[in-house]
Amino acid sequence: MSVSLRLMKWLLRVMKVKESYDRPIAEIEATKKRRNRKMSFSLKPLSGQTVEETRICDREVLIVRDGEGKSEKALLYLYGGGFSSEISGMEKKASVEYGKRSGRDVWIPRYPNVMDDGITIRELYQMVLKTYQRMLDSYGVENIAVIGFSAGATLGLGMFEYNNTLSAPLPVPALLIASSPACIPHTEEELRKVQELADMDIMIPASFVHSIKETMCHGEDLPGWMYEITTGDLSNMPFTHIYYGSDEVLRASSDTLTAAFERAGSGYELHIGNGMFHCYPAIRFIPECREAFDEIVGYLRGQTMSTTHPMK
């Protein structure tokens, strides 16, 4: 294990990230509201990049370009944060890095916040799918890829499940990267695995996995697939690379999710980062994380890279 990885794990424990989510949902949301008021949706581009803003569904969408002109290819970037946090500094850095290194324009929608009145996961699916539809107007479907982290990975999967319910579904891109999708446990086996992984996870407590449905639905009776994404229609999906850390509670749903892909006949590859934590491919300064980061860049560039991260 590299020194930087040891340091990162130590820092996460010292910051008590896990403990901050091991509370009632109302307390978590109150903390997020205070934090969100201090955060900005703007981001600093890398050298040579430009940033422009457009609006979709009356929401801001940032478009990061490498230079002044439009690229031939684009990346829809869906950030995490439990469907209720502003994009973090870590993900701002990851989004511009992925765009720069893959040669793609990056579209980052500021999707609705489920803490707002009347907003559920349904409105989030609608907004990100509208963003994707706008991208289809500017890029060929074969030139668009989607990447999501945590809640953003859930949105990446769910937006195409939502697309399957439409009378006139949109054409789907060739590639989806889903890092640590937040799947609500659907089976007793998943619930058992959550408990087995609980002590290993340094970021997310088992209690949050059980309570996240409340965050996504806020009391509204939604179709089950909208929050239990492994139960939805996963046919007609992009080829999906699924990343989980071996030491995170969300990995409890990995077998159920891949089984759903197989039943639907959709292509996927599962990557398990040995000894890794939640959303590790978003970080590049740690060697073990950089391996997955660079692997994803290879997929985005269209290179053939079949290296996986098996558990050892």
From first to last of its 312 residues, the chain has per-residue pLDDT tens of: 899 989 889 998 989 989 988 888 888 888 899 999 989 999 999 999 999 999 999 999 999 998 878 999 999 999 999 899 999 999 999 999 999 999 999 999 999 999 888 899 999 999 999 999 999 999 999 999 999 999 999 999 999 999 999 999 999 999 999 999 988 888 889 899 999 999 999 999 998 887 888 778 877 889 989 988 999 999 999 999 999 999 999 999 999 999 999 999 999 999 999 999 999 999 999 999 999 999 999 999 986 444 443 332
246 part of a folded domain: yes
pLDDT of residue 184: 84
Q: Residues near 182 by Cβ (< 8 Å), separated by ≥ 6? A: 82, 150, 151, 153, 154, 209, 212, 250
44 part of a folded domain: yes
Which backbone phi and psi does 119 adopt, to 5 degrees? -100, 125
Does the CA dihedral 271-275-280-284 come out positive or negative? negative
CATH code of the domain containing 36: 3.40.50.1820
211 part of a folded domain: yes
The residue written with tokens 């993900």 in the block is 91
Q: How far is CA 233 from CA 63, 148, 261, in A?
A: 30, 19, 9
164 part of a folded domain: yes
305 part of a folded domain: no
239 part of a folded domain: yes
- pTM for the full model? 0.94
- The helix (run of H) or strand (run of E) holding residue 296 is helix 287-300
Quick one: the chain helix, strand, coil %, rounded to 5? Answer: 45, 15, 40
Length of the chain: 312
Q: What's the number of domains the chain is made of?
A: 1
Around 288, how many Cα atoms within 13 Å sit in the side-chain half-sphere? Answer: 21
Q: Which domain holds residue 233?
A: 3-300
312 part of a folded domain: no
310 part of a folded domain: no
